[in-house]
């Protein structure tokens, strides 16, 4: 099953249940047979555009409501089991924990920087703000207004529409989470 058929099946079932509708009622409102709807929900059918059009029209949905990535109640990212998005051996590692594509508003990274390591980042675009929480060590962030030192006892925020550097100026390993928010 491809991701699109999966998304359609999961979303159709979720929407149907949230409206308190049985397959019989959805079939009646959309003109799509109950058996076809059941096959779609199970991910065993590849519905045509015409069938999807009937479902969208009958349930008064946007097409995107059916094809978007279904919401999850919870999702665990185990950094130790993932491959870094960016890495410079002996200097730093960056993991994309939750990409902006998940919700189009927030992106979350875990960054580890070795002693005396520097990770340079460009601007993240207009109307983006970055929040940083240090888990281990001490982080120095270089911005256009100067240097800012963040420890485990701090939470730091800045406008990320500017070039910036994350620096570990200590002799201990640094690990922090950074959250990019589009507003």
Q: Give the 3-state DSSP-derived string for the chain, with helices as H, strands as E and coil as C.
A: CCHHHHHHHHHHHHHHHHCCCCHHHHHHHHCCCHHHHHHHHHCCCCCCHHHHHHHHHHHCCCHHHHHCCCCCCCCCCCHHHCCCCEEECCCEEEEEEECHHHCCCEEEEEEEECCCCEEEECCCCCCEEEEEEEEECCEEEEECCEEEEECCCCEEEEECCCCEEEECCCCCCEEEEEEEEEC
Q: Tell whether the model's pLDDT for residue 1 goes beyond 60.
A: no
CA distances from 32 to 10, 23, 55, 96, 181 (A): 17, 10, 7, 41, 41
Domain ranges of the chain: 3-67, 79-182
CATH 1.10.260.40 assigned to 3-67: yes
**pLDDT of 52-72, one tens digit each?**
999 999 999 999 999 988 887
- Does the pLDDT value for residue 179 go beyond 90? yes
Instruction: Say which CATH superfamily domain 79-182 falls into.
Output: Jelly Rolls (2.60.120.10)
Query: Is the confidence at residue 102, as pLDDT, over 70?
Result: no
Domains 3-67 and 79-182 are alike in CATH topology: no
- Who has greater pLDDT, 157 or 73? 157
Other C-beta atoms lying within 10 Å of the C-beta of residue 105: 10
* pLDDT above 90: residue 28: yes
In sequence order, what are the beta bridge partners of 134? 176
| Percentage of the chain modeled with pLDDT above 70 | 98
Range in 57-61, 100-104, 158-162 the model is least confident about: 100-104
Question: For 89-105, what is the mean pLDDT?
Answer: 86
């Amino acid at each position: 099953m491809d991701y699109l058929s999966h998304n359609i099946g999961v979303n159709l079932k979720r929407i149907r249940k949230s409206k308190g509708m049985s397959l019989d009622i959805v079939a009646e409102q959309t003109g799509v047979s109950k058996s076809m709807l059941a096959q779609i929900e199970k991910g065993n059918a590849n519905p045509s555009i015409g069938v999807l059009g009937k479902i969208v029209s009958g349930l008064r949905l946007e097409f995107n409501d059916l094809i978007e990535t279904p919401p999850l109640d919870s999702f665990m990212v185990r950094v130790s089991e993932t491959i870094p998005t960016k890495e410079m051996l002996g200097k730093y590692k960056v993991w994309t924990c939750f990409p902006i594509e998940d919700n189009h508003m927030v992106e979350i990274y875990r960054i580890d920087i070795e002693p005396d390591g520097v990770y340079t980042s460009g601007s993240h675009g207009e109307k983006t703000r970055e929040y940083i929480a240090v888990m281990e060590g001490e982080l120095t962030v270089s911005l256009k207004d100067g240097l800012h030192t963040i420890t485990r006892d701090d939470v730091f925020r800045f406008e990320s529409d500017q070039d910036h550097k994350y620096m570990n100026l200590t002799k201990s390993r640094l690990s922090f989470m950074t959250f990019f928010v589009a507003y």
